[in-house]
Amino acid sequence: MGSAKSALLILLLVMVIASCARAIDMSVVTYDDNHHVTAGPGHHQTAGPGRRNGVFDVEASLIFEPWIVKHGKVYDSVAEKERRLTIFKDNLRFITNRNAENLGYRLGLNRFADLSLHEYKEVCHGADPKPPRNHVFMSSSDRYKTSAGDVLPKSIDWRNEGAVTEVKDQGHCRSCWAFSTVGAVEGLNKIVTGELVTLSEQDLINCNKENNGCGGGKVETAYEFIVNNGGLGTDNDYPYKAVNGACDGRLKENNKKVMIDGYENLPANDEFALMKAVAHQPVTAVIDSSSRDFQLYESGVFDGTCGTNLNHGVVVVGYGTENGHDYWIVRNSWGNTWGEAGYMKMARNIVNPRGLCGIAMRASYPLKNSFTNGKSSMA
For the annotated catalytic residues, the residue numbers are 176, 312, 332
Amino acid at 315: V
Q: Cα separation of 39 and 25, whole Å?
A: 11
Q: Cα separation of 229 and 159, whole Å?
A: 28
- Rounded (10°) CA dihedral 223, 236, 334, 129: -20
Of 90, 76, 116, 65, the closest CA to residue 290 belongs to: 116
CA 363 to chain centre: 17
Angle (deg, nearest 10), helices 78-99 and 53-70: 110
Report the first-to-last Cα separation within the chain, whole angstroms. 89
Q: What is the DSSP string of 304-356?
A: SS------EEEEEEEEEEETTEEEEEEE-SB-TTSTBTTEEEEE-S-SSTT-G
Answer whether 281's CB lies under 8 Å from 369's CB.
Answer: no
Q: Cα separation of 196 and 364, whole Å?
A: 20
Amino acid at 112: F
> 2: buried, middle or exposed (CB in 10 Å: 19+, 13-18, 0-12)?
exposed
Q: Cα separation of 107 and 302, whole Å?
A: 10
**Angle formed at CA 122 by CA 182 and CA 283, multiple of 5 degrees:** 25
Q: Which residues pair with 140 in a beta bridge?
A: 265
Q: Is 234 helix (H, G, I), strand (E, B) or coil?
A: strand
Q: Where are the beta strands (DSSP E) in 105-226?
A: 105-107, 138-140, 156-157
